[in-house]
Each structure stands twice: as C-alpha cells, then as structure tokens.
Amino acid sequence: MMVLVIGDVCEDIYVYGTTERKNPEAGATLLQQTGTRSSLGMAANVAENLRAFCDVVSHFPSEPYSKKMRFYGEDGVTQLLRVDQDVRSKPYQLSSPEYYAKFDAIVVSDYDKGFITQDNLYGLIQRYKGPMFVDTKKTDLKPLSGPTYKINSLEHGKLKSEPDDLVVTCGAGGCWYKGENYPAPKIDVVDVCGAGDTFLAALAYHRTEYKDMAGALSAANYYAAIACSRPGVYAVK
C-alpha cells in the first residue's frame, strides 16, 4: 500500500533540565539545561506514523520550517513552556491527475501555514478520486467536500461550514462520527503532543486497507492512546 502525505512541517525541539531554583531576575522558574533533542513534526509526524503500516511518499515545504520548542522539567514529562516560531510556506504546487492516481490514498495535514491553500486543496480533490483524509485548520469546509476530514473538538467549534464526512476527536472522550461516539481506551496520559497526527495516520491506513470506518476509528483511538502514553511527539512502531 502506497500513501502520499502532503502538508506543513515543523521542527519539534525538546529542551530538558532541572528546576531546583527560581530565576533571581524575575522570580520565575529557572531551567538548568541538561539535554536537548529535535525531530520533524506535523505532517512529517503523520508520515512517520504511517510508515509503521505502509509505504509513504511525502510532499513537504522546503526549509526553513516553523519551530515548536518545548521545555521540560527533570522528570522529562512535565512540560513547563512551549515557544512557537511560525514560518509561512510557499503554496504547494499541484501535479497531474496521472501522478496522484498511483497512490492508494492521500493524507493532507494542513496547519494553515501557507503550504495548503484553499485553492490547491480544492484542486487536489478534483485531481484525485481515491480515498483522501484531511486534517485542517481551515474553517469553511463545505465547499471542499469529498475527503474524510478529521478535526478536534476545539476546531469543530470554529467551523463556518461542515463537510459531509467529518470525524471530530475529543481526547479522552474518543471521537464522533455521524452522530456516534467511538470511545478511547482509558490510559494514564503522559503527553498529548502529536496524538492527532497518530490518529490521522491510523485512520487513513485502516480505512483504506480494510474498508471499515468503525474499525478504523477504533484503531485510530487505540494508536492515539499509545502516543499519549509517551512523552513528546511519538510515532507508533
């Protein structure tokens, strides 16, 4: 199975340290840095999760990427602060229908950083008639009906119009699809970073491979729970 992933990318940077004293200049927590690591997130994390299931081709914007810097205390789990540096991307350039036809599914991860515009998303829908799954920050989705859309409950409250095929994720509350709730496994949550990416990847794979939406939603909840049980952005294995 071959899946094309298109979308915005960021660099996830994790800074770890101890918090044994206060900053004498401001009275705030002082983080004494002990370690750091980085990885690519957003659409790149969707692609990395999909690689647990199938072959992946990706179309991402060129660097520089947006950055998300997360600062953690000595337990490596408690997030103290996140600092974002947003970068606008040049719009994605559409390919021919023949190029897209070779893929079993297309997954779009749109964080509204400029790479996926309303026009090129519409053009993509027109060019590809197979299974398409879209996670987007856009709010006017009715004109873009066709794909299966996945958004979270906060994004759902901001919609101006809804598409016909919509999955709404609700964290510990699982997800909703066509008026039915699909519960999530009960776990001890460590970190929710990137769980939506994992959900999207599992949903796209299982829905395309097995043609069973109920089973795909249950699988997506399961793998997203695994991601939430690990610190930082985690790609399932």
**Order of strands, sheet of 79-85, starting from the edge strand that comes earlier in the sequence:** 29-42, 9-22, 66-72, 79-85
Tens-digit pLDDT profile for residues 99-130 = 999 999 999 999 999 999 999 999 999 999 99
pTM above 0.75, yes or no: yes
d(CA 171, CA 188): 12
Confidence of residue 26 (pLDDT cuts 50, 70, 90): confident
Confidence of residue 197 (pLDDT cuts 50, 70, 90): very high
Tens-digit pLDDT profile for residues 165-175 = 999 999 999 99
Average per-residue pLDDT in the chain? 94
d(CA 167, CA 153): 10
Q: What per-residue confidence (pLDDT) applies to 231?
A: 80
d(CA 47, CA 162): 26
Q: What per-residue confidence (pLDDT) applies to 13?
A: 95
Stretch 188-214: mean pLDDT, rounded? 94
CATH number of 2-228: 3.40.1190.20
